[in-house]
Amino acid sequence: MKHKILIGSIISTLLAFILYTSNMRRVENAQLKIVGPTTSKVKKSKKKVKEPKIKKVKEPRVNSIEYSNHVKAKSGSNKQLVKMIKKVMGLDDSYQVAVQDLNNSSHYAVVSNTAKAHDAKDVMKLFLLIALYEQEQKGKIGSKTAIKIKKADKAKGDGMFQVNMAYGVAYLREAMLKNNKTASNALIRKIGIKNIESVAKIMGADQTTIAKRFTGDAYGKTTANDLAKTMIGLYQGRVLNRQYASKVLSALAKSKERIKMVKGINGGVYATGDDDFATAIVQGKGNYCIAVWSSNNKNFNKLAKNVNTWFDKKHK
């Protein structure tokens, strides 16, 4: 009986061991599956949302950091003149305008939306002409003075002057007034930049600078106010006495036909200018000076005519 129990016990143990071993093998061979979180998908709407339109603010045209609609008038400027100037010149372009009654210092208007000096071309010959006559007045240059043209003076394409040949001052002056660059360069060299700029400063043109040579698109920098001060200085006999001031004005009277700003203006007109600048002294019912610079010269003549009408009415 005991043997039967022992044998049964051994068989049971053996079966249990076999079952245990089988289970262990199944666990070892099993692959571990890691189930990650399901990525959630945002359902896109097929209907596109219309973005609101951004209204563009129209900026005024600018000149450097100065806005063309920021128009300023100098303190004491005649209100009627200021109003008229603003109306003619508008807000689309940069500009400087200076007007002065030559018989009444309190009648003036200085209106602008840019205060800095701008590139100038042919109008710069005004300062050169005054400096030339100032040298003659001092006796440093005379009618017999001759200036030899140097290679550095010669403008490209100029067939009027020859290098190493000497020309009289009067001949060079007339050629300079007709915008000959070689003649201008020879006179600048003879007079000297320092002397020309010194004369400009005495005239009141403290923002004006002259190029060493007249070449390219700019012969220097100036402002409308500097031009007005210079013309007023001529009229008042500053720097030049009456004799030599009259010579400058006479030269400007001859060249007025080339200046669009003063076309149609009656009376004694003494003017000079270029595509960007123009200045004139007008002697009629009223004597006055006008000077203007603008990024667009389309309104120059209209401005000059309106100013002329204003002075005519004032002096009836």
Q: Please provide residue 43's backbone torsions phi and psi, each rounded to the nearest 5 degrees.
A: -75, 120
Q: State how many domains the chain has.
A: 2
Please tell me the predicted confidence (pLDDT) of residue 153.
97
The CATH number given to whatever domain includes residue 183 is 3.40.710.10
Structural domain boundaries enclosing 127: 121-221
Q: How far apart are CA 280 and CA 308, in angstroms?
A: 11
Give yes or no: residues 104 and 132 share one domain: no
Amino acid (1-letter code) at residue 113: N
What are the strands, taking DSSP E only, across the chain?
62-63, 66-67, 72-73, 95-101, 108-112, 118-120, 146-148, 166-168, 209-215, 218-222, 268-273, 277-283, 287-294
Instruction: Provide the whole-model pTM.
Output: 0.78
CA–CA gap between residue 194 and residue 173 (Å, rounded): 19
> CB-based contacts of 267: which residues, under 8 Å, 6+ apart?
282, 283, 284, 285
- What would the two tokens of residue 77 be? 């400027």
Judged by DSSP in three states, 280 sits in strand
User: Which residue, 221, 245, 261, sits at the end of a domain?
Assistant: 221
- CATH number for the domain that contains residue 283: 3.30.450
Q: How far apart are the first and last CA of the chain?
A: 160
Specify whether 143 is located in the same domain as 235.
no
Q: Which of 227, 222, 209, 220 is nearest to 271 (CA)?
A: 227
Asked whether residue 39 is domain-assigned, the answer is: no
Structural domain contains residue 262: yes
Q: Residue 159: helix, strand or coil by DSSP?
A: coil
Strand order in the sheet with 277-283: 72-73, 108-112, 95-101, 287-294, 277-283, 268-273
Q: Is residue 35 part of a domain?
A: no
**End position of a domain, from candidates 188, 221, 254:** 221
130 and 170 in a single domain? The answer is yes
Tokens 């002697």 sit on residue: 283
- What single-letter DSSP state applies at residue 231? H
- Phi, psi dihedral angles at 111 (to 5 degrees): -130, 135
Same domain, 88 and 130: no
Question: In terms of domains, do 111 and 200 share one?
Answer: no
Phi and psi for 97 in degrees, rounded to 5? -135, 135
pLDDT in tens, the chain (316 residues): 545 555 555 666 655 556 555 555 554 454 434 333 444 444 444 455 555 454 443 444 444 445 556 899 999 999 999 999 999 999 899 999 999 999 999 999 999 999 999 999 999 999 999 999 999 999 999 989 999 999 999 999 999 999 999 999 999 999 999 999 999 999 999 999 999 999 999 999 999 999 999 988 889 999 999 999 999 999 999 999 999 999 999 999 998 888 999 999 989 999 999 999 999 999 998 899 999 999 999 999 999 999 999 999 887 7
Query: Is 9 a member of any domain?
Result: no
Residues 111, 135: one domain? no
Same domain as 228, residue 97: yes
Which of 197, 221, 245 is a domain's end point? 221
